[in-house]
Amino acid sequence: MNRFYLDGHRNIHGWYRKKEVIEEKEVESMKFVTANDQLGSFVGLVSNDDNMVLPLGRTDLKRNGENQIPDTLLGCISQGNAFLDKAKSLAEWADLQSDENQYYLPIQSVELESPIPRPAKNIFCVGKNYAEHAIEMGSKDDIPEHIMVFTKAPTSVIGHNQTILPHHEVTSELDYEGELAVIIGKKGRRISKEEALDYVFGYTIVNDITARDLQAKHKQFFIGKSLDTSCPIGPWVVHSSVVKNPNQLNIQTAVNGEIRQNANTEQFIFPIEEIISILSKGMTLEAGDIIATGTPAGVGKGFNPPRYLKSGDEIKITVEKVGTLINKVGY
């Protein structure tokens, strides 16, 4: 489980104990999931090695005789630092028990949902935020001067390892778009760029699945971006304390093992601070809001001829310091 060190130090999700002294160190891993097992849905904290998950509410019940953890990650995020403190305390307590395995579950034994299975509002999406992607979708004239924003319906959301429906009856041009996504942690309006990252709870991965033919037919993005299962999100949310600079992360998308997208978020036209500031100028952002920050060059439509998704295709999106989101297209 890799939660212990052999030199007498004990790793407690980023905290270390030696003799009678507890010294707080930098957090190694604060990854939160929404998961299901035979007992139902729960919010969990993933171990540093990504192999185990601690159901926070069940652990709270065993420790304190009552469960004060909200049923959803959205509810947890809304509690702010109080939730983080409680999660850290529960992880420390569970790791110090003589039989910690009674608290942790193998992550392979649970089904991971989207971290926020049903967002409270549409997912915000930034279009053409990498110059090379704007060019592959048109020309240099398509590089935006101002931020381009569209949304995806909450009903489009699925989780890690869940199946993307091919929707043969409405599209023959299903495409992938790997993206870093931001999870807002608290309510704000007129947020300055200097303060913007203080409003971020954490980061996850979005696959902005798009029906290109519907996008072209309807002359806007919403229908082509909002088909059921067209917004895989996950596998978890990594707390912002772990990601020091979200504008400098490697991002890579592979289809059936072939790397199609390979870039770094330092190539953003509009960095995350600017995205948050612009969105919040006259619109209130709230805890749990999801912002997909745009996709790099290498989407299926950008090839000649285009290379759209087919039934059975596996899409694997990896973002540095965040994780890997995997989904397959169904039949």
- pLDDT tens digits for 191-227? 999 999 999 999 999 999 999 999 999 999 999 999 9
283: number of Cβ within 10 Å: 12
Beta bridge partners of 324: 318
Q: Do residues 255 and 202 share a domain? A: yes
Residue 14 has pLDDT above 80, yes or no: no
Q: Check residue 138 and give its pLDDT.
A: 82
Tell me, yes or no, whether 175 lies in a domain.
yes
From CA 54, how far away is CA 46, in angstroms rounded? 6
- In the chain, the percentage of residues whose pLDDT exceeds 70 is 91
Q: Do residues 173 and 305 share a domain? A: yes
Q: Do residues 172 and 312 share a domain? A: yes
How many domains is the chain partitioned into structurally? 2
Tell me, yes or no, whether 117 lies in a domain.
no
CA 61 to chain centre: 28
Tell me, yes or no, whether 2 lies in a domain.
no
Say what the pTM is: 0.91
Q: Do residues 193 and 101 share a domain? A: no
- In the chain, the percentage of residues whose pLDDT exceeds 90 is 87
Q: The domain containing residue 83 runs over which residues? A: 10-112
Contact call for residues 293 and 182 (beta carbons, < 8 A) = yes
Contact call for residues 158 and 258 (beta carbons, < 8 A) = no
Tell me, yes or no, whether 1 lies in a domain.
no
Q: Check residue 99 and give its pLDDT.
A: 77
Tell me, yes or no, whether 46 lies in a domain.
yes
Residue 255 sits in a domain whose CATH number is 3.90.850.10
Q: Check residue 139 and give its pLDDT.
A: 79
Q: Do residues 216 and 277 share a domain? A: yes
Q: Which one of 51, 83, 112 terminates a domain? A: 112
Task: Identify which of 237, 276, 287 has the alpha carbon closest to the alpha carbon of residue 79.
Answer: 287
> pLDDT tens digits, residue range 139-190?
788 899 999 999 999 999 999 999 999 999 999 999 999 999 999 999 999 9
Q: Check residue 98 and give its pLDDT.
A: 79
Q: Do residues 180 and 239 share a domain? A: yes
- Please, is 146 exposed, middle or buried when counting C-beta atoms within 10 Å of its C-beta (0-12, 13-18, 19+)? exposed
Q: Do residues 239 and 101 share a domain? A: no
The mean pLDDT value of the chain amounts to 91
- Compute the chain's Rg from CA coordinates: 20
Q: Which one of 112, 137, 153 terminates a domain? A: 112
Tell me, yes or no, whether 158 lies in a domain.
yes
Contact call for residues 268 and 247 (beta carbons, < 8 A) = yes
Residue 83 has pLDDT above 70, yes or no: yes
One-letter amino acid of 40: G
- Please, is 66 exposed, middle or buried when counting C-beta atoms within 10 Å of its C-beta (0-12, 13-18, 19+)? exposed
Q: Do residues 175 and 307 share a domain? A: yes
Beta bridge partners of 43: 34
Q: Do residues 216 and 283 share a domain? A: yes
Q: Check residue 65 and give its pLDDT.
A: 95
Residue 212, sorted as left (phi over 0), alpha (psi -120 to 50) or beta, turns out to be alpha
pLDDT mean over 105-113: 97
Q: Do residues 207 and 78 share a domain? A: no
Question: CA torsion 201→326→128→261, rounded to 10°?
Answer: 120
Task: Identify which of 103, 272, 112, 115 has the alpha carbon closest to the alpha carbon of residue 195.
Answer: 272
Residue 106 sits in a domain whose CATH number is 2.30.30
Q: Which one of 51, 86, 112 terminates a domain? A: 112
The per-type count for the chain, helices as H runs and strands as E runs, is: 7, 22
Q: Do residues 178 and 106 share a domain? A: no
One-letter amino acid of 312: G
Residue 324 per-residue DSSP state: E
Q: Check residue 164 and give its pLDDT.
A: 98
Here the tokens at position 112 are: 């991971």
Contact call for residues 53 and 110 (beta carbons, < 8 A) = yes
> pLDDT tens digits, residue range 258-300?
999 999 999 999 999 999 999 999 999 999 999 999 999 999 9
Tell me, yes or no, whether 93 lies in a domain.
yes
> pLDDT tens digits, residue range 36-79?
999 999 999 999 999 999 999 999 999 999 999 999 999 999 99
Contact call for residues 252 and 178 (beta carbons, < 8 A) = yes
Q: Do residues 191 and 50 share a domain? A: no
